[in-house]
Amino acid sequence: MSLTNSSNEEQIRILVLNEGEDKSEELYRLKKGWNLQIKISSCLSWRKVRLFTNSCLNEEDQFERTIYRELKWVYPSNGKYDDSDRYVNLSCFKSGSFHYYFTIDGTTSKDNLNGQGYFHVEPYLIWQDGSSEVLEQECIACQTVLSKSLGPLSEWTSRLEVTHHSGYNMIHFTPVQILNRISNSSYSVSHHHKLNPLFQGTYEELKLLIDNMAKQWRILSITDLVYNHAA
**pLDDT tens for residues 74-94?**
998 876 667 888 999 999 989
Q: Sign of the C-alpha dihedral, residues 40, 102, 92, 56?
A: positive
The rounded mean pLDDT for the chain is: 90
Supply the pLDDT for residue 6. Answer: 43
Confidence of residue 54 (pLDDT cuts 50, 70, 90): very high
CB 74 within 8 A of CB 89: yes
| CATH number of this structure's domain 2-122 | 2.60.40.420
pLDDT score recorded for residue 7: 40
* First CA to last CA distance, the chain: 45
CATH of domain 137-223: 3.30.750
Q: In what order do the strands lie in the sheet with 22-31?
A: 22-31, 115-122, 96-103, 50-53, 69-71
pLDDT of residue 172: 97
Give pLDDT, residue 76: 87
Query: Does residue 17 surpass a pLDDT of 90?
Result: yes
- Residue 24's pLDDT band, with cuts at 50, 70 and 90, is very high
Residues in the chain: 231
Q: What is the pLDDT of residue 104?
A: 95
In this prediction the pTM is 0.72
Q: Give CA–CA dist 135/144, Å, rounded.
A: 18
- The percentage of the chain sitting over the pLDDT mark of 90, rounded to a whole number, equals 70
pLDDT at 118 over 60: yes
In this prediction, residue 129 carries a pLDDT of: 82
- Above 60 in pLDDT, residue 128? yes
The mean pLDDT of 26-34, rounded to a whole number, is: 90
Q: What local confidence, expressed as pLDDT, does residue 2 receive?
A: 55
pLDDT in tens, 148-196: 999 999 999 999 999 999 999 999 999 999 998 888 899 999 989 999 9
| Encoded amino acid at 77, one letter | S
Q: Where are the domains of the chain?
A: 2-122, 137-223
Mean per-residue pLDDT, 188-209: 95
pLDDT, residue 80, reads: 65
Q: Has residue 114 got a pLDDT over 90?
A: yes
